[in-house]
Amino acid sequence: MHSKNLEQKFNVKLIITDGEAKKNLSHLIEKYKISSLIWNRLYSDQSIKRDTEIKSFFKNKNIHVETFNSHLLNEPWEIQNNSGQFFKVFTPYWKTAFKVYLNKKFSYQKNSLIKSFKHNEKTKIDFLSNRSWYEKFNNYWSPGEDAALKKIETYISSHIDKYDVNRNRPDFDQTSRISPHLRFGEISPRVIVEKIQNSKKSNNAVNTYLSEIGWREFSYSLLYYSEDLSTKPINPKFKKFPWRSSKKDFALWTEGKTGIPLVDAAMSQIYEEGWMHNRLRMVVGSFLVKNLLLNWTLGEQYFQKSLLDYDEASNAAGWQWIAGCGADASPYFRVFNPVLQSEKFDPQAQFILKYIPQLKIFNSSKTVFEPYLDKKLLDSLVKEKKYVNPIVDLKESRNRALDAYQQTKS
Ligand SMILES: Cc1cc2nc3c(=O)[nH]c(=O)nc-3n(C[C@H](O)[C@H](O)[C@H](O)COP(=O)(O)OP(=O)(O)OC[C@H]3O[C@@H](n4cnc5c(N)ncnc54)[C@H](O)[C@@H]3O)c2cc1C
């Protein structure tokens, strides 16, 4: 059936999000006498397998099922290089992909035929259950399509022009924070692009913003074409990387108790907001896989369980990028120095002090970034259990990481 005719038949909109989909859907279909199902496609092997199975399950029950792409600008298989392969480098990927997308001349219309579906089913989310994070949810997030549209419109009219200069500053908090809405399908990247185009804004900041949407698309291409992006390094050399194993260090990292303030403040941002600034994801990621020499898949899994915007493509691709084992990845020898990152991107220590206010007793940003420089003061905090000594020496652990990398290379 043509999708337009199909749309006229719709009286529901359902989003399949969990492994219980078949059971939950069967229950809803019966209860609400649903005759058609639609959903937006997902792209990992696992999701494709699950959704194909669900599709045939319901088709066999004479329920009409149709799937669409609203999650991406282009389907991953639409973008290929001249040799008919998927792109492994971002810049040529995005040049091609954006052109292909613009040629489609997509236009967004809110579909009034799809009526919203009120039901009282409860969803149990097993998410950082040892912390009452949800109590603060409303301080940071307004779920839903209307909220997502409002957020992106305000961002485009008031903030996007400075995206290129502000986006790296966790203390400024000037990125769009649209990622959870994208994750839950509350907004499509197509709508974002169209709204930017309608604004008639065209400058370096806007192009930088669009290219970040491009990184999301690129991640999906990698997800679709790789064997298992969340566990298998794209660069096969990393299959034998000499990772350390330390449950204790990993736990201290997750709890924000490494003694490196920028890392600890960033990890605390997750507990407060369920979200972390992109610059900090790179800093904490580098600290885990390089300074602590722990396998990047541990970080990938932790983010999977704790980020509101967890995305099966961007998260895995982000971790592979940080570990240096992905496509177009940050080279392994690039170890982010959290102290230099603090000086550059949180120069007044505002972000750090928001999350670790007990460090206010240090009298300069320099000592907030490196409390161990004032040993006496740090000792007093440690004694009162208000902060901790660093779990690694940044220089020594950097050298250890570079040695491990050399070993892998040869
Ligand atoms: C280790 C690591 C893990 C990550 N895990 C996730 C994840 O689970 N989910 C997720 O959405 N993003 C992830 N990212 C990418 C990025 O950090 C977030 O998309 C961004 O911080 C979301 O905030 P924002 O909406 O304010 O972004 P903005 O800066 O306002 O960017 C707008 C949109 O562009 C996309 N985008 C921006 N940067 C990236 C990027 N580096 N890679 C892919 N897409 C990007 C996102 O969809 C984002 O919402 C990860 C990055 C790293 C380094």
Domain extent listing, the chain: 1-68, 70-108+128-225, 236-409
Is the distance from CB of 348 to CB of 369 less than 8 angstroms? no
Report, as an integer, the average pLDDT of 384-396. Answer: 98
Min mean pLDDT across 98-112, 194-208, 333-347, 352-366 is at 98-112
| Residue 68 dihedral angles phi and psi, to the nearest 5° | -135, 165
Taking the centre of ligand 1 as the mean of its atom positions, its distance from the CA of residue 164, in whole angstroms, is 15
Q: In whole angstroms, what is the distance from residue 67 CA to residue 112 CA?
A: 19
User: For residue 207, what pLDDT band results from cuts at 50, 70 and 90?
Assistant: very high
Helix (H) or strand (E) holding 39: strand 36-40
Q: Does domain 236-409 have CATH number 3.30.450.40?
A: no
Report, as an integer, the average pLDDT of 86-113. Answer: 89
| Structure token digits, residue 249 | 């260090």
Mutate to test the pocket of ligand 1, among 289, 309, 319 (most ligand atoms within 8 A of CB): 309
Q: In whole angstroms, what is the distance from residue 177 CA to residue 160 CA?
A: 12
pLDDT given at position 120: 60
Min mean pLDDT across 112-126, 198-212, 242-256, 335-349 is at 112-126
22 Rama class: left (phi>0) / alpha (psi -120 to 50) / beta: alpha
pLDDT given at position 30: 80
Q: Say if ligand 1 is within 6 A of residue 350 CB.
A: no
pLDDT given at position 276: 98
Q: Say if ligand 1 is within 6 A of residue 302 CB.
A: no
Q: Say if ligand 1 is within 6 A of residue 175 CB.
A: yes
Is the distance from CB of 267 to CB of 284 less than 8 angstroms? yes
Counting atoms of ligand 1 from 1, which one is nearest the CA of 219?
Answer: 43
Counting atoms of ligand 1 from 1, which one is nearest the CA of 177?
Answer: 26
Q: Say if ligand 1 is within 6 A of residue 179 CB.
A: yes
Taking the centre of ligand 1 as the mean of its atom positions, its distance from the CA of residue 21, in whole angstroms, is 27
pLDDT given at position 23: 72
Atom 52 in ligand 1: residue holding the nearest Cα: 318
Residue 174 predicted with pLDDT over 60: yes
Q: Say if ligand 1 is within 6 A of residue 212 CB.
A: yes
Q: In whole angstroms, what is the distance from residue 50 CA to residue 404 CA?
A: 38
Is the distance from CB of 9 to CB of 36 less than 8 angstroms? yes
Min mean pLDDT across 41-45, 148-152, 344-348, 395-399 is at 41-45
Q: Say if ligand 1 is within 6 A of residue 219 CB.
A: yes
Residue 112 predicted with pLDDT over 80: no
Residue scoring higher pLDDT (131 or 403): 403
Q: Say if ligand 1 is within 6 A of residue 177 CB.
A: yes
Can you tell me which residue has the tokens 């839950």?
A: 184
Positive or negative CA dihedral for 256, 260, 265, 267?
A: negative
Report, as an integer, the average pLDDT of 299-323. Answer: 96
What are the CB-based long-range contacts (under 8 Å, 24+) for 110-117?
A: 111/7, 113/7, 113/8, 113/10, 114/7, 114/10, 114/12, 114/13, 115/10, 115/11, 115/12, 115/13, 116/13, 117/12, 117/13, 117/14, 117/32
Mutate to test the pocket of ligand 1, among 176, 216, 267 (most ligand atoms within 8 A of CB): 216
User: For residue 128, what pLDDT band results from cuts at 50, 70 and 90?
Assistant: low
Q: Say if ligand 1 is within 6 A of residue 233 CB.
A: no
The mean of the pLDDT values for the chain is: 89
Taking the centre of ligand 1 as the mean of its atom positions, its distance from the CA of residue 367, in whole angstroms, is 30
User: For residue 31, what pLDDT band results from cuts at 50, 70 and 90?
Assistant: confident
Taking the centre of ligand 1 as the mean of its atom positions, its distance from the CA of residue 385, in whole angstroms, is 34
Q: At what angle do helices 45-59 and 21-32 cross, to 10 degrees?
A: 30
Min mean pLDDT across 26-40, 244-258, 327-341, 395-409 is at 26-40
pLDDT given at position 37: 85
Residue scoring higher pLDDT (235 or 134): 235
Counting atoms of ligand 1 from 1, which one is nearest the CA of 180?
Answer: 11
Can you tell me which residue has the tokens 């201290």?
A: 252
Report, as an integer, the average pLDDT of 54-59. Answer: 88
Residue 9 predicted with pLDDT over 60: no
Atom 20 in ligand 1: residue holding the nearest Cα: 278
Mutate to test the pocket of ligand 1, among 165, 184, 212, 307 (most ligand atoms within 8 A of CB): 212
Residue 24 predicted with pLDDT over 80: no
CATH number for region 1-68: 3.40.50.620
pLDDT given at position 260: 98
pLDDT given at position 113: 62
Residue 12 predicted with pLDDT over 70: no
pLDDT given at position 13: 41
pTM of the model: 0.92
pLDDT given at position 16: 44
Q: Say if ligand 1 is within 6 A of residue 303 CB.
A: yes
Counting atoms of ligand 1 from 1, which one is nearest the CA of 178?
Answer: 25
Atom 17 in ligand 1: residue holding the nearest Cα: 278
pLDDT given at position 54: 87
Structure letter (DSSP) for residue 331: P
Q: Say if ligand 1 is within 6 A of residue 319 CB.
A: yes
Question: Which CATH architecture fits 70-108+128-225?
Answer: Alpha Horseshoe (1.25)
Q: In whole angstroms, what is the distance from residue 173 CA to residue 194 CA?
A: 24
Q: In whole angstroms, what is the distance from residue 14 CA to residue 251 CA?
A: 37
Q: Say if ligand 1 is within 6 A of residue 310 CB.
A: yes
Helix (H) or strand (E) holding 65: strand 64-68
Taking the centre of ligand 1 as the mean of its atom positions, its distance from the CA of residue 173, in whole angstroms, is 14
Q: Say if ligand 1 is within 6 A of residue 167 CB.
A: yes
- Closest by Cα among 253, 258, 248 to 371: 258
